[in-house]
Amino acid sequence: PSSYKVVVVGGGSAGLSVASTLAETLGSKSVAVVEPSDVHYYQPLWTFVGSGLKTFDESKMAMSEVMPEKAQWIKDSVASFNPTKNTVVLANGESISYDYLVVAAGIQVNWGKIKNLPETLGKNGVTSNYSAQSVQKTDEFIKAFKGGNALFTMPSTPIKCAGAPQKIMYLAEEQWRKAGIRDQTKINYFTGLGKIFAIDKYANELLKICKARNLNINYFTDLTEIRPDSKEAVFKVLAGDAKGSTLTLPYDFLHVTPPMGAPDFIKASPLSNADGWVDVNKETLRHNKFDNVYALGDCSSLPTSKTAAAITAQSAVLKSNLLGDILGDKKEVAKYDGYTSCPLVTGSDKLILAEFSGYTGQPQETFPFDQSKERFSTYFLTKEIIPDIYWKSMLKGNWDGPAKYRKLFGAA
């Protein structure tokens, strides 16, 4: 019978940034990480990989390399939770017990919800940056494109990195312009939502870019089907006069962002809220029903935009509160303010660095300049510096996000 002080479910961005500190503080054999994958991916790099600006290899590391030395890696997936018994059951049937549980299993990408997507992905111009299997195909298909209809989609469901569906459009458009085929190319963006970005400060700048580069935005439209034989994409209209009708468009290039949602095994468990996410307090990250359970990252109910950047702030709060429970010191309760960030790459040398609270909708920018303007400095930061911070500091539990720099630069 295996038993641990803390069991962490998931060895992704969130799980490892928490497990590192806990294992270091609580010592060997105290912390287990349940993670089935052999590989850990730095998914934020996939926008760059999909446009040929970084290699796929730079986005991955063997799980054995990034797993905290003092944590016990249980190489399996969690099948179910028994929070009243303080146990999790693994896919192999074994039960693991814990004093404290941290759930960090990420979001589930529902490829099968688009008719014919699983079988067409990576073939004949259909691709997605949202999978390790197809992200390199994006680069291949952008470079092989000879003009025609290019479509980029964003679903109406919550997704991870809400900017990624459009970042790849800006990078593709630039390549086609440079290749001299922009005149023969029509670019359409289809979003299931009514805005291009949730925060107006950044949405306004993005809309100017779309207008200047002749990128056509279609709102309230969800991709539902791909017809590979006729090379057509079918959309459902979600609002307006045509609500309920379908739109069918031919494509020569199609970048799909599939619908996503809470992982099924969480949805089916007593830990989930009505929408399937792990039901935690939005400030303390503690479960609303089970006091010894915490969650963070993409699988949590935290009502902010799902990014690795958000996890930098969440992990600091979670660790402070959980270590307070375990070590019994009566510190002040740490509170998460909804911080998140989306580095909106708009070309191969420029970027809009959105940083804001998902709780207030207010910008929370680190630097003393207007980050809604396209800049090379923030592009360089995102492409060359933040990946290093991720591998060397965040995964080791030593990066709490940029809040202290924001204060240093004089922001509130």
The angle, 0 to 180 degrees and rounded to 10, between the axes of the packed helices 308-327 and 13-26 is 30
- Among ligand UQ1, ligand FAD, none, what does residue 306 contact (CB within 5–8 Å per kind)? ligand FAD
Residue 235 binding partner per list ligand UQ1, ligand FAD, none, with a CB distance cut-off of 5 to 8 Å that depends on partner kind: none
| Distance in angstroms (rounded) separating the CA atoms of residues 175 and 255 | 15
Angle, CA of 303, 304 and 308, to the nearest 5°: 130
For ligand FAD, which residue has the nearest CB?
A: 12
Nearest distance in Å: CB 227, ligand FAD? 25
Q: Is 301 in the site for ligand UQ1 (CB under 6 A)?
A: no
Select the span of 48-56, 216-224, 261-269, 307-315 touching ligand UQ1 (CB under 6 A).
307-315
Q: Is 161 a catalytic residue?
A: yes
Neighbours of 119 (CB within 10 A): 12
- The identity of residue 295, as a single letter, is A
343 near ligand UQ1, rule: CB under 6 A: yes
Residue choice 49, 101, 126, 394 for contact with ligand UQ1 (CB under 6 A)? 394
Among ligand FAD, ligand UQ1, none, the one that 390 touches (CB under a kind-dependent 5 to 8 A) is ligand UQ1
Burial per residue of 137-163, b for 16 or more beta-carbon CB atoms within 10 angstroms, e otherwise:
bbbebbeebebebbbbbbbbbbbbbbb
How many C-beta atoms lie closer than 10 Å to residue 341's C-beta? 26
Asked if 161 touches ligand UQ1 (CB under 6 A), the answer is: no
Nearer to ligand UQ1, 130 or 390 (CB): 390
9 binds, among ligand UQ1, ligand FAD, none (CB under 5 to 8 A by kind): ligand FAD
Catalytic residue check, 342: yes
Q: 325 to each of 87, 279, 329, how far by Cα in Å? A: 19, 19, 7
Q: Give yes or no for a contact between 353 and 365, defined as CB atoms under 8 angstroms apart.
A: yes
Residue 20 CB, shortest distance to ligand UQ1, in Å, is 14
- 106 is a contact residue toward ligand UQ1 (CB under 6 A): no
Min CB(390)–ligand UQ1 separation in Å: 4
Closest CA relative to residue 275, chosen from 264, 263, 267: 267
Q: How far is the CB of 72 from ligand FAD (least distance, A)?
A: 14
Question: Are the CB atoms for 103 and 266 separated by under 8 Å?
Answer: yes
Amino acid occupying residue 320: S
309 touching ligand UQ1, by CB under 6 A: yes
Catalytic residue among 63, 105, 161, 344: 161
Query: How many residues belong to the chain?
Result: 412
Distance CA 214, CA 57 (A): 33
**Smallest separation (angstroms) from ligand FAD to the CB of 385:** 13
Q: Considering CB distances under 5 to 8 angstroms, the limit depending on partner class, which of ligand UQ1, ligand FAD, none binds residue 402? A: ligand UQ1
Nearer to ligand UQ1 among residue 153 and residue 341 (C-beta): 341
Q: Please name every residue paired with 34 in a beta bridge, in sequence order, or none if there are none.
A: 9, 74
Dihedral sign for Cα atoms in the order 164, 165, 170, 175: positive
Is residue 366 part of the contact set for ligand UQ1 (CB under 6 A)?
yes
**Residue 35 vs 231, nearer CB to ligand FAD:** 35
Q: How far is the CB of 269 from ligand FAD (least distance, A)?
A: 11
Which residues would be at the binding site for ligand FAD (CB under 6 A)?
9-15, 34-37, 43-44, 46-47, 77-78, 104-106, 129-130, 160-161, 164, 263, 265, 297-299, 306-309, 311, 343
Residue 225 pairs in a beta bridge with 115, 234
Separation CA 87–CA 99 (nearest Å) = 9
Neighbour-count burial of 99, counting CB atoms closer than 10 A to its CB (0-12 exposed, 13-18 middle, 19+ buried): middle
User: What angle (nearest 5°) sits at the alpha carbon of residue 104, between those of residues 85 and 99?
Assistant: 30
Binding site for ligand UQ1 (CB under 6 A): 44, 308-309, 312, 341, 343, 366, 386, 389-390, 394, 401-402
Catalytic residues: 161, 342
